[in-house]
Chains A and B, each alone.
Chain A
Amino acid sequence: MAAGRLKRTINVLAVIASALLWLTALIWFAQTAQNSETLSRLQNGILLFSFIGIVILLLLIVANLTQLVRDYRNHVPGARLKARMVVLLVSLTVVPLLVVYTFSLQFINRGIDSWFSVEVEEGLETALELSRSALDVQMRENLADVRSMAQRIETGGRTNIVGELGELRRVSDAVELTIFTMGNDQILATSAESPFPAVPQFPSDELIFQLRQGGGGSYVSLEPLADGGLEIIAAANLMAGALGGEPDILLATFPVEPQLSELAGRAEASYDQYAELAFLRTPLKTSLTATLSIVLLTGLLAAVYGAFFSARRFVLPIQQLMAGTQAVARGDFDTRVPIPARDEIGFLINSFNDMTKRLATAHEEARDSQQQVESERGKLETILARLSTGVISLETDMRIRTANQAASAILGSDLEIHLGESLVNLAENQPLLSQFVSVSQSHLERGESDWREQIVLRSEVGRRVLMCACVALPGEHDEPGGYVVVFDDITALLQAQRDAAWGEVARRLAHEIKNPLTPIQLSAERLRRRYLSPPTTDSEFLDKATHTIIQQVEAMKEMVNAFSEYARTPDMELTEFNLNDVISEVAELYHHELPLALELSLETLPPVKADAGRMRQVFHNLIRNALEAMDHSDDQQLKISTRHTHDDGMGFIAIRVEDNGPGFLEEIVEEAFDPYVTSKPKGTGLGLAIVKKLVEEHDGQITARNRKQGGAVISILLPTTRKAEDKLLFSEHRRNERRERA
């Protein structure tokens, strides 16, 4: 900021300095163009300086003009405004300048011409002529004097030439008289008025030439003196007497009367000045015109450049503002336009900068909140995905907007890859989905947007009970903007309720039945003791009857015990052991049961943490169940296999118990693990129910189905890791897809 201000100050100072320099140069130049003797040596320098200035200005203007034309053609923003400003400013300055120039030229020419007139010239010439005439009179007199002096010397002889000269000088006006020889410029005699005479003036070549040429042998001339005065020099031939040969020269210098000299001098000076001025008329006009033209050209160019400069200065912030606006339009909110000055444009730019700053802040905030929304949405999606409740959001035309993983699992169709498609179209050939859609559609067609219903979906793999709720999403103009259908698979819940109810029933029955059994048994035994000894005729009948009572009561007791076993939930005793060992132990007990062929296929298993007694019970029950199912067959085959899978942190132990018996009845396969559901001639109907209960106590999963080649398969899946446990819990509903063996 400080550097910018300094730069600006330096620029302003430089402009002022150069302008002053220029102005001074022009003033000097104008002075020298007139008759001033001062600065004469500087004149050419100043002229050169002006030229350099003009050339620089021209170059600058040409560069600016080229740039402007290029910008204009390329439709650079601001170029039109700049061009208009330049044209306006140039025409505003150039036209008045040219007018002033034209008139100035006329005034100068007329002014100079007005100095000269024929009258003045004639007057001056007359004055000069008059002076000459006046002087001529004296010159003639002086010439006559010299001639007479020469005659006197000639006639008087040259005996006392010096004295004679002195005498002659005294009687005449002459200040100096000298006699020269004609040929070799020797002074023969001299006489001067001055007490300290200088070396007498030698006759000029012109004088000698004229005396020699003849014409009366005399010479007179008016001589201007260095001090501005005048003197008259007159000379005459001096005959050399008897010797013949070349004559000598008598040279006399006469002063001019001071008053006449002064007046003549003034007339001469005036004439001289006028003549010089007259001669200099054209050069003066030329030089003044040239000076004026240079001044005008300089001013003109400076004005034109100034027009470019100010147009640029004026348009630059507007251009920057335009660029800034375009940048903002492109979405670049970080644009800041430099503020040129504290004027209206500066204010505008300040406002613009303020606006972009606010826009940037708003944009930042919007982005932040969008990110927040996205992350919330992501979290929600994660939650929805992990939710065991199925959630589907639909458009009003039944197109799927979103669907979570659980929804896909419950409805047995991967909805997540069909987002945006119509649920109705998707439901074709999908039995579960089509039942779900038809229920939903029937509600929506009746105009019910908020409803709640328990739906039972039937499929070849079994029954599924869904608790379904639908809510309309808020839309525009009181119309629903879509629907959210939330549904839970409550099959397992219902199953659990049923299991719990059965447990309660079993407990009560055991209690209620067990109480009277003992007195019944005791009464029957008392009857036997009392009436069988001594034997009577009815003894055989009594024996049979009481035996039956006792036997049946015993059977009932057994049954009640089994019941209470089912209802009983003792504490788990978790220990680590190998499941294969338990299976082998239990299988060992049934090895001798013929015609059973028991086959074990056991893979190496990791130790499991479980209740060993319960596990033993599980396998006892399963083997017994299979044996009972194959009761009348001669070819009894039973296969128990174990397998360990470990994938992606999920470890399972899978146990399969297969037999070649008659299998489950199709109609009871889904309730196979319910109590008292059985297709066997023997059995309490509690075996598999207990197995299921025990497996589920170990967070495991049990399923039953029929083999294609006949017989049943019961599969148990026991988790060995935490993740596997979660997985089994999550897909709890899948358990119920399997058929149950009654």
Chain B
Amino acid sequence: MGLVFVLWQQGIHAQDEDPGSFLEQVAGSLSGGEQLSAPGFDVRSASITMESGIYYLDTWVEYRLSADAREALDAGVPLTIHLEVEFINPRWYWADENVGDIRQSYQLQYHALSERYIVLNLNSGEQNTHATLLPALNGLGRITGLPLIDPSLLNSDESYDVRVRAVLSTEDFPGPLRFLAFWRRDWSMRSDWFRWQLGD
């Protein structure tokens, strides 16, 4: 995969170590990171490449979970995150036309027995596990070679915009949390649209 990520952790935690202290350390490390930037989702970069007649998306989304979300995650609540990609035909005379609409859904869950974070691609069923949250979020955020759309569906004469964003799905929360998310803005986390022109 060739991914490079940074760990703030002081050391690697062996399986036989106390899970409580492990969690505390994760929380501590994240709260340290929190001071750098507020909770939220950001699409850091995104690009589209064409390979053998299909558009592929590479993107890096930075996920910074709020304390509430982390608490929910550690309590076993699965978080569903949608990566939304849209192909837009901008029109000056009318509302922009939505040409293509791709949604990739991921589920992030903490497995208490193995004390591991599971990242599940809900579209493909592919699953990865991570010992700590940060690599899990990194694994979630680094998307490479996501097949999007057949260019034949697009009109070659037109110029299209692509936009990407990541959304924490409140609809998939358990009931009470969903109710809470309706009232509290900090529960509905989403990134801004990252938009660029196709072919740039």
Task: Please list the residues of chain A having a beta carbon within 8 angstroms of any beta carbon in chain B.
Answer: 32-37, 40-41, 43-44, 47, 128, 131-132, 135-136, 139, 204-206, 209-210, 213, 215, 220-226, 230, 264-265, 267-268, 271-273, 275-276, 278-280, 283-284, 286-288, 290-291
Residues B76 and A279 in contact, CB atoms below 8 Å apart: yes
A143 (CB) vs chain B CBs: closest residue = B15
Is B114 in the interface zone, CB < 8 Å from A?
yes
A290-B179 CB under 8 A given contacts A220-B15, A275-B112: yes
B172 (CB) vs chain A CBs: closest residue = A40
Is B53 in the interface zone, CB < 8 Å from A?
no
A287-B180 CB under 8 A given contacts A131-B113, A221-B114, A221-B116: yes
A32-B178 CB under 8 A given contacts A224-B111, A224-B113: yes
Give, as a whole number of angstroms, the nearest-CB distance from A450 to chain B.
Answer: 105
Residues B179 and A287 in contact, CB atoms below 8 Å apart: yes
Stretch from B36-44, B55-63, B124-132 contacting the other chain: B124-132
A222-B14 CB under 8 A given contacts A276-B77, A279-B76: no
B1 (CB) vs chain A CBs: closest residue = A205
Interface residues of B in 38-89 (CB under 8 A from A): 71-72, 75-77
Total chain B interface residues with beta-carbon distance under 8 A: 37
Residues A280 and B176 in contact, CB atoms below 8 Å apart: yes
Residues B176 and A283 in contact, CB atoms below 8 Å apart: yes
Residues A268 and B111 in contact, CB atoms below 8 Å apart: yes
Complex CA distance for A41 and B175, rounded to whole angstroms: 11
Which residues on B sit within 8 Å (CB–CB) of A33? 175-176, 179
Q: A275-B76, A280-B77 are in contact. List 5 more A-B contacts (CB 8 A).
A: A35-B175, A272-B112, A275-B112, A276-B174, A279-B75
B126 (CB) vs chain A CBs: closest residue = A226
Give, as a whole number of angstroms, the nearest-CB distance from A631 to chain B.
Answer: 138
Is B182 in the interface zone, CB < 8 Å from A?
yes
Contact with A along B96-113 (1 / 0, CB 8 A): 000000000000000111
B111 (CB) vs chain A CBs: closest residue = A224
Task: Please list the residues of chain B having a beta carbon within 8 angstroms of any beta carbon in chain A.
Answer: 1, 3, 5, 12, 14-16, 71-72, 75-77, 111-114, 116, 118, 120, 125, 127-131, 135, 171-172, 174-180, 182-183
A279-B72 CB under 8 A given contacts A35-B174, A206-B135, A287-B175: yes
Give, as a whole number of angstroms, the nearest-CB distance from A532 to chain B.
Answer: 166
Residues A215 and B182 in contact, CB atoms below 8 Å apart: no
Residues B179 and A43 in contact, CB atoms below 8 Å apart: yes
Residues A35 and B128 in contact, CB atoms below 8 Å apart: no
With a 10 A CB-CB cut-off, give which of B5, B118, B174, B177 has the most chain A CB atoms: B174
A128-B113 CB under 8 A given contacts A276-B76, A279-B72: yes
Residues B75 and A275 in contact, CB atoms below 8 Å apart: yes
Give, as a whole number of angstroms, the nearest-CB distance from A414 to chain B.
Answer: 100
Which residues on B sit within 8 Å (CB–CB) of A268? 111-113
| Secondary structure class of chain A's binding surface, majority of residues | helix
Which residues on A sit within 8 Å (CB–CB) of B131? 206, 221
Shortest 4 CB-CB distances between A and B: which pairs? A279-B75, A287-B179, A268-B113, A283-B176
Give, as a whole number of angstroms, the nearest-CB distance from A210 to chain B.
Answer: 5
Residues A43 and B178 in contact, CB atoms below 8 Å apart: yes
Residues B12 and A40 in contact, CB atoms below 8 Å apart: no
Complex CA distance for A264 and B3, rounded to whole angstroms: 33
What are 22 A-B interface contacts by the 8 Å CB criterion?
A32-B178, A35-B174, A35-B176, A40-B172, A128-B112, A135-B113, A139-B15, A205-B3, A205-B5, A215-B12, A220-B15, A225-B127, A226-B120, A230-B113, A265-B113, A267-B113, A271-B76, A278-B75, A279-B76, A279-B77, A280-B174, A287-B175
Give, as a whole number of angstroms, the nearest-CB distance from B60 to chain A.
Answer: 16
Per a CB cutoff under 8 Å, which of B5, B77, B176 touches A286?
Answer: B176
Complex CA distance for A132 and B115, rounded to whole angstroms: 10
Complex CA distance for A230 and B5, rounded to whole angstroms: 27
Which residues on B sit within 8 Å (CB–CB) of A267? 113
Per a CB cutoff under 8 Å, which of B113, B125, B182 touches A44?
Answer: B182
Complex CA distance for A230 and B127, rounded to whole angstroms: 13
Which residues on A sit within 8 Å (CB–CB) of B171? 40-41
Give, as a whole number of angstroms, the nearest-CB distance from A564 to chain B.
Answer: 136
With a 10 A CB-CB cut-off, give which of B14, B15, B71, B128 has the most chain A CB atoms: B15
Residues A36 and B76 in contact, CB atoms below 8 Å apart: no
B131 (CB) vs chain A CBs: closest residue = A206
B7 (CB) vs chain A CBs: closest residue = A209
Which residues on A sit within 8 Å (CB–CB) of B176? 33-35, 280, 283-284, 286-288
Which residues on A sit within 8 Å (CB–CB) of B172? 40
Complex CA distance for A43 and B175, rounded to whole angstroms: 9
Give, as a whole number of angstroms, the nearest-CB distance from A240 to chain B.
Answer: 22
Which residues on B sit within 8 Å (CB–CB) of A204? 128-130
Which residues on B sit within 8 Å (CB–CB) of A279? 71-72, 75-77
Residues A283 and B75 in contact, CB atoms below 8 Å apart: no
Residues A223 and B116 in contact, CB atoms below 8 Å apart: yes
B181 (CB) vs chain A CBs: closest residue = A283
